[in-house]
Amino acid sequence: MKIPQLETERLIIRPYAPDDLESLFTFFNDEKVTRFTDLPSEQSLEETKEFLDLILRSYESEDPIFALAVAGKADRKVIGSCGFAPIRDNGDIQIYYAFSTGYWGQGFATEASCKLLSYMFSELGIERAFVFASPENPASSAVAKKLGMNYEGTAELENKKGELFEIGKEEFLAVHPSGKGI
């Protein structure tokens, strides 16, 4: 699977590149950003480089890590990350998003996630997607709700309890036919 570059009105959502090392290092070392994610935190520059190299190598494989850098269109600066991954053995797919603290509360997570879901449903044939949000992170739950996701209840994934939200392809495309967002 080729990892795409997607664009919204304000964002470029693209595969990571070697030049993203410094941005990723800063991102991983901001506890406010990584606290509610599965992202590694407090990494050395070398550990961050190893993680970035793993992602970059995966892009060439049959089963790539679908992790994307999110950059502002105006300055091309990386401001966050989004992507998707299986969350269960049954093929359920979780989308994820995280942004640098200076970009919180500006709708970037919703904008990037909406574009990502549109791509997943329209181009990859995925039938439904989930968001798993920490109950201590109401902003993540708010993004899921803005995307039109339905609250499914509490769940436990990888020994973490959280709120599970779900949306199906038809439901999403009826609300967001262009994938442009809210």
The model's pLDDT over 3-19, given as tens digits with 9 standing for 90+, comes to: 999 999 999 999 999 99
Of the candidates 142, 129, 77, the residue with the CA atom closest to the CA atom of residue 103: 77
pLDDT of residue 89: 73
C-alpha to C-alpha distance for 172 and 168, rounded to whole angstroms: 6
Structure-model confidence comparison of residues 105 and 36, the more confident one:
105
Residue 181's pLDDT band (cuts 50, 70, 90)? low
- When pLDDT is averaged across residues 106-121 and rounded to a whole number, the result is 96
| Architecture in CATH for domain 6-175 | 3-Layer(aba) Sandwich (3.40)
Tokens of 157: 């994934």
Does 68 or 158 have the greater pLDDT score? Answer: 68
Return the structure tokens found at 177: 């036919």
Would you say residue 179 has pLDDT above 80?
no
CA atoms in the 13 A half-sphere facing the CB of 94: 20
pLDDT of residue 175 exceeding 60:
yes
* 167/73 Cα distance (integer angstroms): 28
pLDDT at 88: 73
**Stated pTM of the model:** 0.91
| pLDDT recorded at residue 105 | 94
Q: Mean pLDDT throughout 19-31?
A: 90
- How far apart are alpha carbons 78 and 40 in whole angstroms? 18
Q: pLDDT-based confidence at 40, cuts 50/70/90?
A: low
Query: What distance in Å separates the CA atoms of residue 31 and residue 81, rounded to the nearest whole number?
Result: 15
